[in-house]
Structure 1
Amino acid sequence: MRKVMVAVIALFLVTVTGLTACSDSDKKAEIQPSQSASPASEAPESNSAAPVTWDSPNLSWKQDTSPVKYSMYIDFDWYSVDTWGKDDVSKEITKRTGVSLDVTKASDLNQLQVLLATGNLPDFIFTSNQVQRFWDPKKIWPWNELMDKYAPEFRQLLDPIEIANNTAPDGNFYTLKTHYSNDDQWADPRNLPSVGDPGLAVRQDILEAIGNPQINSLEDLLEVLRTVHKKYPDMIVYLPSKDISNPIMDILGFNNSNPYLDEQGNVKVNISNPNFLEYLKFMNTLYREGMLDPESFTYDTDQFYQIAGEGNVFMASYSTMVADLLNTRLKDNKKDGWFVPINDHSITYNGKDQMNLTEAGTGWASLFINKNIKDPERAIRFVEFLKSPEGDALTQWGIEGLHYTMGDDGLLDFNNDYLKDKPVTETGIGAWYFQGSSFGETLPMVSRAADAPDQSQFLNVLKFRKTKIVRDPALSFVKPPSDTDEFNISTRLQDLFNNESVKIILSKSEDEVVSKYNELMNNANKIGLERLNTYMTEKYKEAKVKYESLKK
């Protein structure tokens, strides 16, 4: 879900920097800056007379800020930074906490498994990939143990629901996932889904040239694409990105990685969705009719933007910001054209709105602490700083007074004179968010929208998606632990999906699509599809009982 958000946000900030800020009257309704993204600003009273808050002077992270250095492994090959101490934010983190990091960025997504198998883990590991592998107290520190011993007030400051969201089957919690919002924070109109969610955009100028037809259904979209292909035979009709879940899947009610909840309340693997076949048929139709180049499934992000920015693409899919980013690319290349998002409203299929955005809503990536770390006390206290409103603001917004000021309306006013043309490798904004919140991520986007309305079409997509999202944290407990047969089944099924989907799309006929789909499903059943579906449903129902008890 979040694979590209650092690059997307960084590019957006650079794009709109330098534009004059609009007046306060154009910004959103007032909200106090103290309403931070962190799960809780206050906790139950401790042994002292005053309650502990994130502003308390005796927080554990403030007690020792002497220099200490840790190793950090970032398990994302797309990550925009890999060197600590060269940008404003990382320097400021070290200044406030004394902590510096020796960073290693993944070049191969299999590297971490090798490190885990050999026991050569760095001090910190930041990953979203098969996190169940790290639920092991022999290899990884449970945060609850570290908090109780070295930072007891840290645990008091956390929302019990967030702790429940991250509690492993053994009763420990080994991390707190990033980009989480509790219900109150999610209700804030400025708190929006991730900009890394799927986006779908078309060229408005081409759409107008063919009569400006409405696109309110997948059937409408197919006819529009056919019309464009007929009138502009040399144009690339559709350019998808392989790095983001295809938004056509969203329209059909599933995505490429997460399980889904059916109408009977059962949790199932994505390929169990009957509309998976409809997705394959739709994409195959585009391929067979010459509207989808098979080479597009091999393009990396740079190739995607290079091709789309040449002005010869009608429809493109990437993140929710795809229209805004491509418009910037067209302008920079002095090419005509204007992209507009089309997944900012309901698009039906077979006369029905099929979109199903039920999700766990428990966060994204996990930060783990190696059991062999040299100084676990400073490590958990460093995490406390990162989790605090102060740390959240610093890592995701930058340095107050240098990069931005907080307006009375609760929006950020960025220092455009300073930030102009500076990349994230210089500013560090939105890069070191190892405990960043969802609100902290989206507030810069909302704040920037006032400065650059022409580059903020993505906000309409995010606002629409928010109306469709149903948050169900019990879904976060359906993934099996790494030492189980169900985990192996899940891995093999995901590999099956990844390896066979494109092959099926590139079939010579729809009959061949159906035949290959049936073969895929037969193989999935042999691997253990129904066993995994049953397992996930049972775990989901158990978790629902737990969450209901927390609400009482």
Structure 2
Amino acid sequence: MKLKKDLIKKTIGLTLVFTSFLGCGLETGSEKASVTNGDTVTLDWYINYSWFNTGWGSNVVSRTITENTGVNINFITPQGNEEEKLNAIIESGSLPDLITLGWWEPQVNELIQKDMVYAINELADEYDPYFYQVSDEQAVSWYTQNDGNIYGYPCSSVTPQDVENNDNIGSNQTFLVRKDIYEAIGSPDMTTMEGFENAVKKAKEMFPQVDGKPLIPIGAHLFDDSGNVSFDQYIQNFLAVPYEKDGQLYDRNTDPEYLQWLKMFRRLNEEGYLATDVFIDQRSQMEEKIAEGRYFCMLYQYTDMADQQKILYSKNPNSIYIAVDGPKNKNGDDHILPTNTASGWTVTMISKDCKDPEKAIQFIDYLISEEGQKLVYLGVEGITYDMVDGKPVIKSDVLKLLNTDRKSYDQIYGADDAYWMLQDNVMQLKWKTNNTSPTTQLEEWTYQYAQYTGQYDVILPADTEDAYIDSQVKALWADTLQQLLLAESDEEFDRILEEYKSTRVELGYDGLQEKRYQYVVKAKEKLGIN
């Protein structure tokens, strides 16, 4: 506690000195050091993730952004179901100033088609042409609609060229094992079904409890209305299941090897190794259990458990999770783990209810600029880092806090992409430090398997028959996947699968696949992929 208080006092003092010259509006080269031009305005920013809880105004980074842009932020996040909250906001007809949501969400197209958001390029033309200097040309091209406008700007956008030109762009998808338990059972090969099954059983046998609570042998992301990424997309990617064959989209959900692995998970469930928690837990519950080290292994996005990894590390470095090779196909082919894509992760849009669209576009332009990205990533020079021989070096006390107490770090400093909504991971590579953290091994393990697969990211126009069919097919799969894992026998598994295949045909699956492939062909042309 004393350390935290001392850090707060130190930060406030340094910030007062630093901000005394921030408002001068100086320009550095082509970068605008400040875009303030009047009173500070508070913009309501809706983030469509219930887990996001970083505030604004208490830390160094957010205060510096406000000083430089004249924009203060009031974050709004859903309490409960994100989709229900977002739909309610749209139906109310009164939108927050800024909206950030997943690029794949159907509400993206809905907001555009209902004329509820500004064209960012038109705001740039009217208020701030600086947008054209600082925006990523490929991202703008990718998100430009048929009418020539761009309505949302992405975070974490990556192109095939970025992946080709950088050997340190990885994937978020990992197969994780708890280090001490994995080593105690002999660091087994878990790439085969036999090896995987034996390792899970041995871990449960040797370590039935973790600090008095039952060990959960297998962890996964939550089940939602389109399935479970751990038990469908991630396993398929680890097995290197192709996305297309013979000039058409491949049906990955019925790939024979993938189905054999699903049957193995069914057997593990029948024998009590797939805990009920896996089927019912929401993200907050999973985070709590990860922080306790309750899972033996997980098919999981490592960035979603980074904070919990640091908690484990602070308690016992041997109790952290490490990435190892996971399920592989019978040929032993390398995993194909997707990098981020041109679509990125989320898009941020400016609503037509925005109280100050001029300040909003200037705010976005500042954050996507090199100056803004460096601030969001590294923080403030002299407070969070120093430049040594032309390279940024994170201050030792700041780094220690980052690696042991992310919540306090965000409250005091707020760098390291705490405000990730417009982050540019490729640009930030130029400032990447040599510091190691409890998640370094997880990230670097993915480099060898990372590939660009963004051409297969398809989002169908909202309020169309294709979009309706797609939602029905996804909902059918979501229900089917749980039934397959909970089936009482392989024979019941097969029956459920055949019912799924026939039902989706009735829904219009075959025609939908053909149309989806047309989007893939266009995406390949746009991205320059042969």
Q: TM-score, normalised by structure 2?
A: 0.79
- 8 Å CA contact retained: 1:284, 1:505: yes
Q: Are 1:103 and 2:82 counterparts?
A: no
Give deviations 1:174-218, integer Å, cap 9, x for gaps: 112101234565456574335xx2322234544454444333434
Equivalent position of 1:40 in the other structure? none
- 8 Å CA contact retained: 2:242, 2:250: yes
Q: How many residues get paired? A: 484
Instruction: Tell me the distance in 1 between the aligned counterparts of 2:305 and 2:429.
Output: 18
Instruction: Tell me the distance in 2 between the aligned counterparts of 1:527 and 1:267.
Output: 18
Q: How does 1:298-313 map to 2 (within 5 A)?
A: 298-307=280-289, 313=295
Instruction: Tell me the distance in 2 between the aligned counterparts of 1:544 and 1:163.
Output: 16
Q: CA deviation at 1:342?
A: 1.4
Q: Are 1:398 and 2:384 counterparts?
A: no
Moved more, 528-537 or 431-440: 431-440
RMSD: 3.7
**One-letter amino acid of the structure 2 residue matched with residue 383 of structure 1:** I
- 8 Å CA contact retained: 2:257, 2:329: no
Q: CA deviation at 1:515?
A: 1.2
- 8 Å CA contact retained: 2:62, 2:414: yes
Q: Are 1:341 and 2:320 counterparts?
A: no
Equivalent position of 1:3 in the other structure? none
Instruction: Tell me the distance in 2 between the aligned counterparts of 1:382 and 1:291.
Output: 50
Instruction: Tell me the distance in 2 between the aligned counterparts of 1:151 and 1:512.
Output: 61
Q: How does 1:243-258 map to 2 (within 5 A)?
A: 243=222, 245-246=229-230, 249-253=233-237
- Partner of 1:536, secondary structure, is helix
Equivalent position of 1:438 in the other structure? 425
Equivalent position of 1:240 in the other structure? 219
**One-letter amino acid of the structure 2 residue matched with residue 250 of structure 1:** Y
Gap change, CA 1:312 and 1:425, over 3 Å in 2: closer
Q: CA deviation at 1:274?
A: 4.9
- 8 Å CA contact retained: 1:178, 1:364: yes
**One-letter amino acid of the structure 2 residue matched with residue 89 of structure 1:** V
Equivalent position of 1:424 in the other structure? 410
- 8 Å CA contact retained: 2:338, 2:453: yes
Q: Are 1:385 and 2:366 counterparts?
A: yes
**One-letter amino acid of the structure 2 residue matched with residue 484 of structure 1:** T
Equivalent position of 2:200 in the other structure? 225
Moved more, 121-130 or 180-189: 180-189
Q: Are 1:161 and 2:138 counterparts?
A: yes
**One-letter amino acid of the structure 2 residue matched with residue 75 of structure 1:** N
Q: CA deviation at 1:458?
A: 1.0
**One-letter amino acid of the structure 2 residue matched with residue 70 of structure 1:** L
Give deviations 1:304-338, integer Å, cap 9, x for gaps: 35545656653234333689877755566669756
Q: CA deviation at 1:385?
A: 0.5
- 8 Å CA contact retained: 2:234, 2:299: no
**One-letter amino acid of the structure 2 residue matched with residue 80 of structure 1:** N
Equivalent position of 2:516 in the other structure? 536
Gap change, CA 1:282 and 1:482, over 3 Å in 2: same
- 8 Å CA contact retained: 1:69, 1:101: yes
Which ranges in structure 2 are unaligned for 5 or more consecutive residues?
Answer: 8-26, 223-227
Equivalent position of 1:73 in the other structure? 46
Give deviations 1:367-397, integer Å, cap 9, x for gaps: 0111232322222111110110111122233
Q: Are 1:119 and 2:93 counterparts?
A: yes
Instruction: Tell me the distance in 2 between the aligned counterparts of 1:349 and 1:418.
Output: 40
Q: Alignment partner for residue 118 of structure 2, among 124, 141, 145?
A: 141
**One-letter amino acid of the structure 2 residue matched with residue 366 of structure 1:** V
Q: How does 1:120-519 map to 2 (within 5 A)?
A: 120-128=94-102, 129-130=105-106, 131-136=108-113, 138-182=115-159, 185-187=162-164, 189=166, 191-193=168-170, 197-229=172-204, 236=215, 238-243=217-222, 245-246=229-230, 249-253=233-237, 261-267=243-249, 271=253, 273-307=255-289, 313-320=295-302, 329=311, 339-343=321-325, 347-353=327-333, 355-357=335-337, 360-408=341-389, 410=391, 412-416=393-397, 420=401, 421=405, 422-429=408-415, 430-439=417-426, 447-449=434-436, 452=437, 456-466=440-450, 469-472=451-454, 474-476=455-457, 478-519=458-499
Give deviations 1:513-551, integer Å, cap 9, x for gaps: 1211222222222222222211111122233334449x9
Which ranges in structure 1 are unaligned for 5 or more consecutive residues?
Answer: 1-13, 18-52
Instruction: Tell me the distance in 2 between the aligned counterparts of 1:142 and 1:377.
Output: 13
Q: TM-score, normalised by structure 1?
A: 0.76
